[in-house]
Homo-oligomer: A and B are copies of this chain.
Amino acid sequence: MDVARANRTAVERMMSARPMLRTVATAGEVIPGMHDRLLLHAGPPIEWERMSGPLRGAVIGAVLFEGWAEDEEEAARLAESGEVEFAPCHHHGAVGPMAGVISPSMAVYVVENVTHGNRSFSTLNEGYGKVLRYGAYSSEVLDRLRWLNDVMAPVLREALSDSEGLDIRALLAEALHMGDEGHNRNKAGSLLLLKLLAPLVARVAPDPKVAAAVLGFIGENALSVLNPVMAACKAMADAAHGVEGSTIVTAMARNGTDFGIRVSGIGDRWFTAPAGTPKGLYFSGFSSADANPDIGDSTITETAGIGGFAMAAAPAIVAFVSGVPSDATNATLEMYEITVAEHEHFTIPALDFRGTPTGIDIRAVVELGITPRINTGIAHREAGIGQVGAGLVRPPAEIFEEALLAFAENRGI
């Protein structure tokens, strides 16, 4: 098959995927291959020795959450001992923001692409401040995780059982008309999620206080929808994976040390290089000296044609990631250069309802020397601290070159 046709097939599969949020369940019950001593993490494969501070912090927190250790030191020893297995979320149909750690007992959203039948998973978003995904693991962090698991998750599960599932692609399409880009800015999407859930939650919650607490948490957290959106993007990207002859990127992910990509027509191989450090705006008291290299699976949003690629839809985001509104527009315009399609469902009003740039072609990235634009949060480089800012970053160019070389070799060129 010629490459252009293969890419058309891949991107059409990506755009026709229709991810529905079906339920909330326990990771160990629903994630294929999840087992008792397995921790999933963001990005390409990595072992404890090479893990950055925030990923180590999240691992420690997950070990404590599971009750595998009594304290931080014991948790770190266990993680180092080899008795805990590590694997990328991406190897198990899952994605996680920032450190992206998923442990067997954690509640996860279950998203199903009803067009092609594949499923994907992500945890419940923890909100702001000291949170596991940024490498914090204090008792406050663990208490919130327990509340999410023991209080919110059962209510959401019951609420979703009363629905046909929530159409996350439709939700995203609407959010892009309301100033979101779907990665770092999810204010509108989170409120659209609240709108869909509020009557269901009010009906099924065990008592009015729990209903109020759950609706308050979802409504106040402008990232509530990020995790289901990431799972939806994973479901869309996975639908485009494995098309023979296609040079479309189907995963971009960072573990805090390495940035990795996968390509539709090159199987499950990762192409990796050291992750860069985002440039952006820092919270009061922090500076770029505190920043960890780029981390998280949230680049699945850019992979699916939103996030940094849809910044023109979200001019207000520059107050958060730096720059002026025309930078946001230019980011999107540049991404049309390295993508093969304009999204059929995701459109940008300010660009006369043009579809978002979708389907990154590694050939175009290499040929033009333009790497993808990514919006991202910035984690402190030490374990146990948390978020220090938000900004913009690009993947290392060499991984696209290596992928293209491998693609050519596979095809005997």
A interface, CB within 8 angstroms of B: 174, 177-180, 187-188, 191-192, 194-196, 198-205, 208-209, 211-213, 215-216, 219-220, 315-316, 318-319, 324-325, 349-353
| Whole-angstrom distance between the Cβ of A166 and the nearest chain B Cβ | 13
**How far, in angstroms, from A213 to B203 measured CA to CA in the complex?**
9
Given A195-B194, A205-B202, A219-B198, are A177 and B316 neighbors across the interface (CB < 8 Å)? yes
Q: Is the CB of B191 within 8 A of A202?
A: no
Among candidates B211, B213, B351, residue contacting A208 with C-beta atoms closer than 8 Å: B211
Given that A203-B208, A325-B349 are known contacts, is A198 also in contact with B191, CB under 8 Å in the complex?
no
- Which of B195, B202, B315, B316 is the one whose CB lies under 8 Å from A211? B202
Is the Cβ of A205 less than 8 Å from the Cβ of B208?
Answer: yes
Query: Among the listed B174, B201, B209, B349, which residue makes an inter-chain contact with A315, where contact means beta carbons less than 8 Å apart?
Result: B349
15 further contact pairs, Cβ within 8 A, besides A203-B209, A319-B353: A174-B187, A178-B187, A178-B316, A188-B191, A191-B194, A195-B219, A198-B198, A198-B215, A198-B219, A199-B213, A199-B216, A202-B212, A205-B208, A211-B211, A318-B349
Q: How far is the CA of A202 from the CA of B213 in the complex (A)?
A: 9
A188 to B351, CA, bound (A): 20
Residue in chain B with minimal CB distance to A326: B352
Contacts of A325 in B (CB 8 A): 349-353
Q: Which residues of B contact A204 (CB under 8 A)?
A: 208
**A209 to chain B: which residues have CB within 8 Å?**
203
Q: Which residue of B lies closest to A220 (CB)?
A: B195
Q: List 12 A-B contacts (CB under 8 A).
A: A178-B178, A178-B180, A178-B316, A179-B188, A188-B188, A191-B194, A194-B198, A195-B219, A198-B215, A316-B349, A318-B349, A325-B352
CB neighbours of A213 from chain B (8 A): 199
The CA-CA distance from A357 to B352 in the complex, in Å, is 24
How far does the alpha carbon of A209 sit from the alpha carbon of B198 in the complex, in Å? 12
**Contact residues in B for A216 (Cβ distance below 8 Å):** 198-199
Q: Shortest distance in angstroms between A355's beta carbon and chain B's nearest beta carbon?
A: 14
A199 cross-chain contacts in B, Cβ below 8 A: 211-213, 215-216, 219
Q: Could you tell me if B203 and A212 are in contact, using CB atoms closer than 8 angstroms?
A: yes
User: Do A350 and B315 touch (CB < 8 A)?
Assistant: yes
Q: Which of A192, A325, A350 has the most CB of B within 10 A?
A: A350
In the complex, chain B residues whose CB is within 8 Å of the CB of A352: 324-325
Contacts of A188 in B (CB 8 A): 178-179, 188, 191
Q: Across the two chains, which residue of chain B brings its CB closest to A188?
A: B178
Give Cα A195–Cα B191 distance, bound, in whole angstroms: 7
Cα–Cα distance between A192 and B194 once the two chains are bound (Å): 10
Residue in A202, A204, A212, A316 whose Cβ sees the most chain B Cβ within 10 Å = A202
Q: How far is the CB of A325 from chain B (nearest CB, A)?
A: 6
CB contacts (< 8 Å) of A315 on chain B: these are 349-350
A188 to B176, CA, bound (A): 12
Give CA–CA (A350, B174) in the complex, Å: 18
